[in-house]
A and B are shown apart, each in its own frame.
Chain A
């Protein structure tokens, strides 16, 4: 590991100022991803600004009935928060399906959003990788890519975003609060991460030194149901092969509001906008769900060994939406 300077400022302004002057510095949250990458030589920041103890550790109701989650809230805390469990089950389920208890105890909301891909080539400094070193090439396309992207990839990069939490937040229309030297701004979660295009080294739309301070959830839709499902290679402690988070509100048998987001299919949580539009006003039936999701996943461009993800994602989404619709009709929570 390269030597680095470590600072633990007491307030956000100092944190932002410190990093603004350090072009190769980084914020440190729980360190569950960044420290690993530093050990592997993938990340080599010369300054770590520890933001895990800034006063962003609260989960509070907003004036409009939504929820404001501090960026330093630990994943384990958020997962079992009573309001999250009651109003945003998709988020609680997504968090609990991620990593291990020990990792969730350390990982923060802000850090979770900024974790980097598990692509094996990205993690091996002995190999080319356009995300790590733009222009060096992408061995994953011909190499080991079973876990990699089927949607929104580019010729330069087929990495996936590993977060479960971000998938739930995408389905919940979350807004991310960002601080910087230029003042605060708000970024819809779905605009936070970006597809690789021809700049795969940039995972997000954040500019250097911008600091995530909170995530805000809009108030839950009355009567809406939400859930998260994840397929993986073992029962626990494993990244998703595919996952899906959804929110569904049904009125008189018709889809009144629906949000569907897929995980592990793309470099960002994949909001299924095509499917959502197709479903709006349609009967909340398995057939409609199947049609809509098929339509969405028609955009998939699998590689040699990851085509299985498409039916996996479709079947999980259709069966979960069907269950949410049934719960809606039956009135069970």
Chain B
């Protein structure tokens, strides 16, 4: 097992541009992105194109009494104005899991910012002004904004007459999905407990805050179809939702991935895709839509805010006896990924611990709040904040060290999850905790320097100069989390890769074509590394991602290196077999090893496993082209039973642990996170630099949720801070040193033994930071983000 602390500097030293897996190959798109030369989807331009603009609802819940578009249409430069009545087919809704989201409002608006009408004009400002001339008469309706108002006797139903696949199971139509998990007998086990600890926790609404706003360009085709260039996470899922609304067969909607400026789950749902296509098909002209920052906050779903109730019991000797919990997630106006979020929240609510007797319930609500869906670590992030707070509380109640207590109850390979699923690959939970705990602590009072004045940058409040060390207390906190990798609960999760091997200018060249969305995770880099390793070539071309090849599935759920990486690996292996067949045909008679030895492709040559060179790959291929497209699936999963929650629901788990060191100005409630160390098992680091980058990024996003990031939704369900001036994400001054310790314990079920890594570090970061603040202040701190007033009190 590896296990050294790695920094970007020591990873990049000597990194080659054309290395295989295991090397920190630099990203082909990296330099372009940091120098501002990379073409994002918002940079696209087409001769004669129009600009689309979306008129959105100013209300969270209202009936549309009338829409008058005549003034907007009369404006010079306007080519089209579309409302719900103009939709071309009977398919007027879309959605990831339920088809419940109107393409344009259908007589009712259910959340602030819901699209009501579209305008296409020859200039973006013209489109905006025309939209302002659309007269919409609303009658405001009472809002559903929390569990009480959603389930009240006279509660307005968000979606009366639901016909989705969970409709018949839910206890109330304003519950999107409910998943109980019952295992053992929690009440009986509770009688064995020497201590019982309960807690109530709350997680605020976090935003993905990707930097590239939603954008794309739709170009009408001569065949009546449309070409859509768009920044998304899953081209084929978009396609499945777009085509029926347009009334086109899927092959007439040709999609190409455009430059994506971050995603984090926020591009799983459609935003402007259908809108741009509708306008392009209506006007016969290319139509570009780009949201500005304000609109972007209304253009994508957010992380589910959650309320969580937990009860844990433990014996005096520190063994957990049972757990009961209830998790209520606010799904907002439309289902989006809510059912899957409920599945994760419930099945992972126990955390990475062994507890045999559990009673778990998770629900997602329909409300008039902003729709919530996918965001890095969904479901698991909310649960981890609560169960890790509970672990600290139980340990304190028992008078035990919180890390030792966790290690005593940590799951291992072979542990049975509350769902009955056996954890059948390494689960080094105790080891990860040991590693972060073993790291040296950053020195105390780092703000003190040889001179007289304090270095305020090392203090809470930073350059605001609010303290020079007085009132500052250090706290250290730990947390560990568990996240599932890939799509769960029986979903047919697969990816597709097409690999072409041929000789170009005398050199063997591989072309890798997938529909994988590169959203910044580094897939294009890793796929080239895989092709080099498997085919022994230097030159690999990554074909642009589009729908001319089979689905890659979503760039989410930490799954792309596993799934599309796996697809590239498998297809490369098949291509290699074909190339070797060619070799045997051409040269087999010249050397017996062609028939008898295990053959590999290395350095552009066919070699035996003993290292003997049999032929140049270029000669083997000659004028032949080997070109294969294959699908790759992970082993099947199954749905959780709707009553007991039992089932082989997850294909793989990933684990990360954090240690947070904070300095808290207890007078003013300001927090400086000094260090946030992370240890994570990644199975196999295909690109160590990218691994560290993902861990540091996820850690920072978790820090944001811990101390500052929250979309403020007021009591009338209206978003109050849709700007980066008012929605705060950590700047580099808020970002601590993040030492990273990478473990590589292979999961034998996965390609190369790798483990999906993108989400796990987001989970434990948040509770570790809050645990450290609790340690510094002695406060309970039941809600994130923690704000100054939570520390100072009123």
Contacts and interface: CB of A to CB of B under 8 A. Distances in A.
Interface of A: 1, 40, 93, 96-97, 118, 120-121, 124, 126-127, 139, 142-144, 146, 227-239, 241, 302, 307-308, 310-312, 315-316, 319, 323, 332
Given A142-B715, A146-B712, A231-B464, 20 more contacts: A1-B128, A97-B464, A124-B718, A144-B714, A144-B721, A146-B789, A231-B670, A232-B464, A233-B787, A235-B462, A235-B464, A236-B734, A237-B725, A237-B728, A307-B789, A308-B793, A310-B794, A312-B668, A316-B466, A319-B470
A121 B793 CA distance: 26
A118 B718 CA distance: 16
15 contacts: A120-B712, A142-B715, A144-B714, A144-B721, A146-B712, A229-B461, A233-B707, A233-B708, A234-B728, A235-B731, A236-B731, A237-B731, A311-B792, A312-B668, A332-B452
Contacts of A236: 462-463, 731, 733-734
Contact of A234 (B467, B730, B792): B730
A146 B720 CA distance: 11
Given A93-B465, A120-B720, A238-B728, A308 B733 contact: no
Given A120-B712, A139-B716, A229 B464 contact: yes
Contacts of B468: 323
Interface in B277-316: 294
Q: Could you tell me the dominant secondary structure of chain A's interface residues?
A: loop
Most central of B470, B718, B793 by chain A CB within 10 Å: B718
Nearest to B132: A41
B665 to A, nearest CB: 9
A312 B731 contact: no
B793 A230 contact: no
Contacts of B708: 233-234
Contacts, number: 114
Interface string B58-90: 110000000000000000000000000000000
B667 interface: yes
Nearest to B735: A235
B169 interface: no
A233 B721 CA distance: 14
A143 B720 contact: yes
B669 interface: yes
B718 to A, nearest CB: 7
A284 B168 CA distance: 72
A243 B669 CA distance: 14
Contacts of A241: 788
A229 B58 contact: no
Among B59, B466, B716, B733, chain A packs the most CB atoms within 10 A around the CB of B466
A313 B254 CA distance: 59
B481 to A, nearest CB: 24
A6 to B, nearest CB: 15
B733 A235 contact: yes
Contacts of A323: 468
Contact of B667 (A139, A230, A302, A315): A315
B792 A308 contact: yes
B464 A230 contact: yes
Interface in B415-467: 452, 461-467
B714 A143 contact: yes
Contacts of A144: 712, 714, 720-721
A118 B463 contact: no
A310 B792 CA distance: 11
Nearest to A238: B728
Interface in B715-759: 715-716, 718, 720-721, 725-726, 728, 730-731, 733-734
Contacts of B726: 118, 120
A239 B728 CA distance: 10
B463 A235 contact: yes
B125 interface: yes
Contacts of B730: 234
Given A235-B734, A307-B794, A312 B716 contact: no
A316 B464 CA distance: 11
A1 B124 CA distance: 11
A234 B731 CA distance: 8
Contact of A40 (B125, B294, B466): B294
Interface string B6-24: 0000000000000000000
Rank and list the top 9 A-B pairs by shortest CB-CB distance, nearest first. A308-B789, A126-B58, A235-B733, A235-B462, A307-B794, A120-B720, A143-B714, A144-B720, A230-B464
A153 to B, nearest CB: 17
Nearest to B723: A123
Contacts of B667: 315, 319
Contacts of A316: 466, 668
A228 B721 CA distance: 27
B668 A231 contact: yes
B461 A231 contact: yes
Contacts of B128: 1
Contact of A120 (B668, B721, B731, B792): B721
Contacts of A118: 725-726
Contacts of A239: 725
Contacts of B672: 235
A315 B794 contact: no
Q: Which of B59, B668, B731 has the most CB of A within 10 A?
A: B668
A63 B789 CA distance: 47
Contacts of B470: 319
A146 to B, nearest CB: 8
A21 B235 CA distance: 56
Contacts of B464: 97, 229-232, 235
Contacts of A126: 58-59
A238 B462 CA distance: 12
A152 B734 CA distance: 33
Contacts of B792: 308, 311-312, 315
Contacts of B707: 233-234
Nearest to A332: B452
A230 B125 CA distance: 39
B736 to A, nearest CB: 11
Contacts of B718: 124, 127, 143
A231 B670 CA distance: 8
Choose among A227, A232, A234, A315 the residue with the greatest number of B CB atoms under 10 Å from its CB: A234
Contacts of A1: 125, 128
Nearest to A100: B731
Contact of B465 (A124, A227, A311, A332): A227
Contacts of A143: 714-716, 718, 720
Contacts of A146: 712, 789
B258 to A, nearest CB: 25
Q: Which of A97, A229, A302, A315 has the most CB of B within 10 A?
A: A315
Nearest to A142: B715
B713 to A, nearest CB: 8
Contacts of B59: 126
Contacts of B712: 120, 144, 146
B712 to A, nearest CB: 5
A308 B465 contact: no
A315 B668 contact: yes
A144 B716 CA distance: 10
A143 B716 CA distance: 8
A234 B786 CA distance: 12
Contacts of A121: 720
Contacts of A307: 789, 794
Contacts of A229: 461, 464-466
Contact of B734 (A127, A234, A308, A310): A234
Nearest to B721: A120
A107 B70 CA distance: 42
Contacts of A319: 467, 470-471, 667
A228 B464 CA distance: 8
A1 B292 CA distance: 13
A1 to B, nearest CB: 7
Interface string B762-794: 000000000000000000000000011100111
A231 B788 contact: yes
